[in-house]
Amino acid sequence: MIDFAIPADLAAERDRVRRFVIDKIVPYERDPRLTAHGPTDELRQELVELARAEKLLTVQAPESLGGRGLTHIEQAVIYEAAGWSTLGPVAMNCAAPDEGNMFLLSKVADPGQVQRFLAPVVAGHQRSVFAMTEPDGAGSDPAQLSTSATFDGENFTINGRKWLITGANGAKTWIIMARLAANPHLPEGPTLFLADGDQPGIVIERTMNTMDRNYVAGHGVVRFDNLVLPREALLGEAGQALRYAQLRLAPARLTHCMRWLGAAERAQSIAIEHARTRTAFGKPIGEHEGVSFMLADNEIALHQCRLTIWHACWLMDNGEKARHESSIAKSFVSEELFKVADRCVQVLGGIGISDETVVEMIFRDMRAFRLYDGPTEVHKYAIGRKVLRG
Ligand SMILES: Cc1cc2nc3c(=O)[nH]c(=O)nc-3n(C[C@H](O)[C@H](O)[C@H](O)COP(=O)(O)OP(=O)(O)OC[C@H]3O[C@@H](n4cnc5c(N)ncnc54)[C@H](O)[C@@H]3O)c2cc1C
């Protein structure tokens, strides 16, 4: 059966989330602790406590860890509402990279790792990173991984350099991808490791200056300098990192789509209000077809994006991996929503590029969405190969 109706209790929760974000979170968008390198940890903690008080913290987490174990479809509805402000997902602990990391750890970590590395992230007490991308190695093509790990039967030693690592500065739970060298004990190849961010051997070289500022602590350049980890640091099976990365990425790229859909809707609502009230050539600008068509194109795109997301979610809720559909969704939604944000800037005229409204921040923050969790061209490359295979 195909049923697009949102159940009444989910619709009520969506409205509660939207109200919470508008009333309690939006005012923080002008807080000086929302810096060029994203919200500070102090700001994050304050927002997290607001969500905790409303019982809206980490609602997606498995029930065994205190969450509500939301389905993918339920996440789509709730995250869209949370995304009205880029600080909404930060408050509710469903922002990247923590959201995807929590998902991966809930699937792969052993009970000891869950207690030490996952539970404090779910509780909102500490943050996590996923360290894969490298200046001279893994990027679009993770098989180029050059960070190395050796194993002597007791300890791993990791060396290498990563960049664009979101939230690196101050995060405690680290998921590190490195290439395990041949050894007599474990399979070689790309492998995931868990580490504590305070450990010697993890060196934050600097935080990069980027055009977005929605992710806590920005994006770091990191060096692993003879980082020594015990055998228990192995996350899942050795040599399986690329498989686990896919396990994380398929839902994680969809949750980006959900949150940015909420932000794009906000931009559209501001553009609509402006088109109703600003006049030019004797009438509200919205009555000029050039403007109403831009708003109509936005409405069409928002609707298409929502349906595309829901379809991929529905497949995953029915036990499918939906890698192909989540690739389609990620490439389509990131491109379309960026066009929506751009048209909103255009409708606003000159103030569109100023911080008089939040549209400018949404436009800037959203640009990177076309790159992370797979640039559009890489998704099209994968979709094209699948199509040609038949
Ligand atoms: C804001 C932000 C946050 C990020 N956070 C993290 C993080 O927390 N952890 C982490 O590990 N990484 C993170 N990344 C890195 C991100 O995953 C990479 O940027 C992405 O995988 C692309 O890799 P790259 O930047 O090395 O681009 P490259 O691999 O150098 O590719 C450059 C361009 O080449 C083109 N291209 C590449 N391959 C193909 C192909 N097969 N066909 C056609 N065109 C192609 C694409 O246009 C692509 O944009 C983040 C990136 C950004 C922008």
Question: What are 312-364's pLDDT values in tens digits?
Answer: 999 999 999 999 999 999 999 999 999 999 999 999 999 999 999 999 999 99
Backbone angles phi, psi at 41, to 5 degrees: -65, -35
**Amino acid symbol at 371:** L
Q: Which is nearest to 329 in space by CA: 369, 385, 300?
A: 369
Q: Is the CB of 131 under 6 A from ligand 1?
A: yes
* Residue 367 pLDDT > 80: yes
pLDDT in tens, 60-95: 999 999 999 999 999 999 999 999 999 999 999 999
State the chain's mean pLDDT as an integer.
97
Section 165-174 average pLDDT: 98
Ligand 1, atom 49, lies closest to the CA of 375
> Which residue's alpha carbon is nearest to atom 14 within ligand 1?
164
pTM of this prediction exceeds 0.85: yes
Contact 148, 160 (CB under 8 A): yes
Could you read off the pLDDT of 12-23 as tens digits, one per residue?
999 999 999 999
Residues 6+ apart with CB under 8 A from 31: 43
* pLDDT reported for residue 150: 98
Cβ of 22 less than 6 Å from ligand 1: no
Q: Check residue 116 and give its pLDDT.
A: 98
Q: What is the pLDDT of residues 225-241, one digit of tens each?
A: 999 999 999 999 999 99
- Is the CB of 225 inside a 6 Å radius of any atom of ligand 1? no
The identity of residue 296, as a single letter, is: A
pLDDT for 1 beyond 80: no
The CB density around residue 185, as the number of other CB atoms within 10 Å, is 11
Residue type, 350: G
Ligand 1: does its nearest atom lie under 6 Å from the Cβ of 101?
A: no
Q: Alpha-carbon distance 45 to 43, whole Å?
A: 5
Residue 35 and residue 18: Cα distance in Å, rounded? 24
Residue 32 is given by DSSP the state T
- Report the atom number in ligand 1 closest to the C-alpha of 210: 1
How much is the average pLDDT of 260-272?
A: 98
Give alpha helix (H) positions in the chain: 8-20, 41-53, 72-82, 87-91, 98-108, 111-113, 119-122, 241-277, 289-317, 323-348, 359-366, 376-389
